[in-house]
Structure 1
Amino acid sequence: MALLIPAVHHAAELGRIRRTATGIRVADDGRDLERIRPGVYAHRQDWAAATPEGRVIARAHALGLISDDAVFSHETAAALHGLPLFRPDRTRVHLTVSHARPGSAVGTIRHRGSVPEEEIVEIRGLRCTTLERTVADVARTAGFESAVVVADSALRARCVAGPATYDEDAAAGVRDAAHGIAQRFAHGRRRADRVLAFADGRAQLPGESISRIRLVELGFRSIRLQAEVPGPHGSYFVDFALDDPAVMAFGEFDGAVKYADADMLAGRSSAEVFDEEKQREDWIRGATQRRFARWGWGHIETAPLLGRRLAAFGIRPA
């Protein structure tokens, strides 16, 4: 899905800001405003249409309007790198600051530490940590699910050039670089090791990353991502192949975005995409004689939920 980032404006740009009887801030031009941080606003309509990652970036820009020496890090840096986030912080941005910097600012999470210049890049006019440093920081400090989503998408950005292509050497290089950075810190090294060992850039969406975590929690092993199945007009690729001889099944995460996002629809209607998916699934099931299950966000909240979904298709861990 396209990244939608709302523009942010300093109060001085907006003229007189008044409040309606219901408490909504309104600019001189009559447009409703959303307060992003003290003295910085976005137009409410733009804010409502923004993606979660776009809002994270907008909050970073809002802080950038009043502070030009910030180094954004952790999930804020991940958003700037174009990586999807799992349950991002809705109100704060992440910064890494030197030990000499006092206190905290409104709407920020300050991580104490230094960032060498070689681990800083500029994206969208903002200074943030490099991709490898960002992966290391998130892997050390975030929850396992959030960290895997970031690590998977970072590997995908660096190591996947097209269908059925995954540069294992490049992936090992990203992992090694992130691991080396994580080892410099006393906190979170074991967490980072676990995340980096689990990460796989063949996961195409956050839902696939979370699905893989749930499958492992359920006890599935021999999980293959983006499994290739020869089709009548070329190859099909399936999100998950469960290759244990006692299981032998395929699974797919179905995010609703594929039936709504214009880029993924590629000029087709939702009904046409749905019909193509059905024909594809029928071919794979018939050609391989494997069970085939689909699931969505509502099934991966917990492992037992996904387990019940798979059991309905006769798919259970060995």
Structure 2
Amino acid sequence: MHVTRRPAASNDTARVLRCHVARLRDDEIDEVDGLAVTSLARTALDLARSLPHEAAVVALDAALHQGRLHRDVLRERLFDLAGAPGSRAAARAVDFADGRSESVGESRSRVLLHRWGVGPSSLPFEVRGGDGLLVARTDFAWEEHGLLGEFDGRVKYGRLLRPGQEPGDAVFAEKRREDAVRDEGWGVTRWVWADLVTGHRLAARVRRALDRARR
């Protein structure tokens, strides 16, 4: 458990408790079930300045995507943390965060792809046919190169199945969707959770796909 105390308390660390000493505005303190807790914005920024960059972006993306926070609020509150430990890391995470990421996998993918110099130009991206009708909505796009990227989490073929739909049905529907996208002249590259463990290999796969798309 992490707690925050105002100065001039001391930083205490125990087996299950870690105390942080930091300035707190009165409006950064809320109450939940009778307990004083930091506000959502302050909690998000504290996470952003204490977690590794990838984990911080995941947390911020989720809060922004759910509409529970606005980037302008986070940027405004960053000034209150100026000079505090981790404030620069928090600013970097806030600047990179994007509420258009719809899952942990998409957020982690975006961090890794940018880290290895192959960040997408758009997310998410809608592919439309010549008649203007929507063909598919994809996770990422490198528009200049005509390449689309898709992160495939198993949830797509599990608890997100429609009533009466089997995993095989979802796989077949996904194949038809990809065929329709390719018919519009787009290339497609996919990856899964295991690919996020070795970011350099994922980046290499995307580079190869970009090279093929350029030809």
Other-structure match for 2:47: 138
CA distance in 1, matches of 2:12, 2:206: 49
CA distance in 1, matches of 2:12, 2:181: 58
Q: Measured at CA, do residues 198 and 103 of structure 1 come closer, stay the same or move farther in structure 2, by a change above 3 Å?
A: closer
CA distance in 1, matches of 2:35, 2:102: 27
SS in 1 for 2:139: strand
**Count of paired positions:** 209
Which letter maps to 2:136? Y
1:211-226 correspondence runs (5 A): 211-221=109-119, 223-226=121-124
Alignment check: 8 A CA contact 1:295 1:309 kept: no
Which runs of 5 or more residues in structure 1 are unaligned?
1-92, 160-169
| Identity across the alignment (%) | 33
Which runs of 5 or more residues in structure 2 are unaligned?
none
SS in 1 for 2:122: strand
Other-structure match for 2:37: 128
228-237 or 191-200: bigger deviation = 228-237
**Structure-1-length-normalised TM-score:** 0.59
Higher relative contact order (CA 8 A, sep 6+): 2
**Structure-2-length-normalised TM-score:** 0.83
Which letter maps to 1:96? T
Q: Does 1:307 align with 2:203?
A: yes
Alignment check: 8 A CA contact 2:126 2:134 kept: no
Q: Does 1:241 align with 2:138?
A: no
Q: Measured at CA, do residues 110 and 217 of structure 1 come closer, stay the same or move farther in structure 2, by a change above 3 Å?
A: same
| Deviation of the 1:96 alpha carbon | 1.4
Other-structure match for 2:96: 198
CA distance in 1, matches of 2:105, 2:201: 14
Alignment check: 8 A CA contact 2:12 2:20 kept: no
CA offsets per residue over residues 182-221 of structure 1, 9 Å max, x none? 32x4212211121111110000111111111121122225
Q: Measured at CA, do residues 271 and 177 of structure 1 come closer, stay the same or move farther in structure 2, by a change above 3 Å?
A: farther
Q: Does 1:293 align with 2:192?
A: no
Other-structure match for 2:74: 175
CA distance in 1, matches of 2:195, 2:33: 36
